[in-house]
Amino acid sequence: MAASRDDFVIAIRSAFLKKSNKQRFSLIGLIFSSIVLIFLTGIKLPAINYLKSGISEVVYRVSFIASIPEKQFSKISLLINNHFQMYNEFEILTNKVKELQSIDRNNIFVISENNRLKKIVDDYIDISDELMAKVLLDKDSPFFKSIIVNRGSKDNVHNGMAVLDGRYLVGKIVETNYSTARVLLISDLNSKIPVIIEPGNIQSILSGTGKKKGKIQYLEEEYNLDKGNLVFTSGSGGIFKAGIPIGTIDENLSYSVVFFSDLSQLNFVNLVSYKKSNENVSK
């Protein structure tokens, strides 16, 4: 019994403490270094942020280059797919354009009326900064839905900025480096956005699920959602302005939300921050 325990101790000591053949570092030394790094990250030591930022600058660029062959392959397969669907899409789009042209005429009046009313209620209407950014890295992970963009603190990017794909909300900035930034996508498990569901003016929270769809949470039982209901930002919390389109209700029972933007196909995004109109404040 004692002999087998000795064997176990010797094997453990040999595996972790001894520097093996042709290994420059001992395993226990590196494990200890990792634990120190985790601890320093946990206590948010500024030096670790600089280290992370430095590694990020290099790794994001290298990762962007390393992903080029895979990106090209995806682009080609998408192109072939699109080519086969082109005719059907053309017919659908022609009909939609006709529909939209008629709706647009009404919209011009509604937009001007909306702007006038927003001035009265002192809402966020001014875009203070708008930057276009290229998506450097779109690493799919089961735990983080995020993308890396090629704008950072040198371009006045800061945490909390809204990230739009066209006019649709896709996420917000959560980490800013010197020349790059990380965007937490609205599909991420940790993403919680105050939303308003129309028609009905229903306030709720849109939560990411880690998958392609989002989910409406904390909705009181008295409210019923229907398939096709539209989801917009509500502006509560002051991070985003109200009325940015996000998606539509897909299934009324599970309250899942299909995003307007395809989050796996982002190439360029707009980084936007909002502030209240100075004119309104002075008024």
Contact set with another protein (CB under 8 A):
7, 10-12, 14-16, 20-27, 30-31, 33-38, 41-42, 48, 51-52, 55-56, 59-60, 62-63, 66-67, 70-71, 137-144, 146, 175, 182, 189-190, 210, 264
Shortest Å distance, C-beta 34 to another protein: 4
Residue 149 forms beta bridges with which residues?
A: 135, 181
Residue 168 forms beta bridges with which residues?
A: 165
User: What CA–CA distance (Å, rounded) separates 181 from 201?
Assistant: 34
Q: Are 282 and 122 in contact (CB under 8 A)?
A: no
Shortest Å distance, C-beta 175 to another protein: 7
For 237-273, the DSSP string reads TSSS-TT-EEEEEEETTTTEEEESS-GGG-SEEEEEE
Shortest Å distance, C-beta 133 to another protein: 17
Q: Give the nearer residue to another protein in terms of CB position, either 139 or 227.
A: 139
Q: What counts of helices (H) and strands (E) characterise the chain?
A: 5, 12
Shortest Å distance, C-beta 172 to another protein: 14
User: What CA–CA distance (Å, rounded) separates 209 from 189?
Assistant: 5
Q: Give the nearer residue to another protein in terms of CB position, either 74 or 270.
A: 74
Contacting residues for 50 by C-beta, under 8 A, at least 6 apart: none
Shortest Å distance, C-beta 242 to another protein: 27
Q: Give the nearer residue to another protein in terms of CB position, either 153 or 280.
A: 153
User: What CA–CA distance (Å, rounded) separates 261 from 138?
Assistant: 15
Q: Are 152 and 179 in contact (CB under 8 A)?
A: yes
Q: Give the nearer residue to another protein in terms of CB position, either 55 or 110.
A: 55
Q: Give the nearer residue to another protein in terms of CB position, either 41 or 252.
A: 41
The H-or-E segment that residue 47 falls in is helix 46-66
Q: Give the nearer residue to another protein in terms of CB position, either 26 or 156.
A: 26
Shortest Å distance, C-beta 197 to another protein: 23
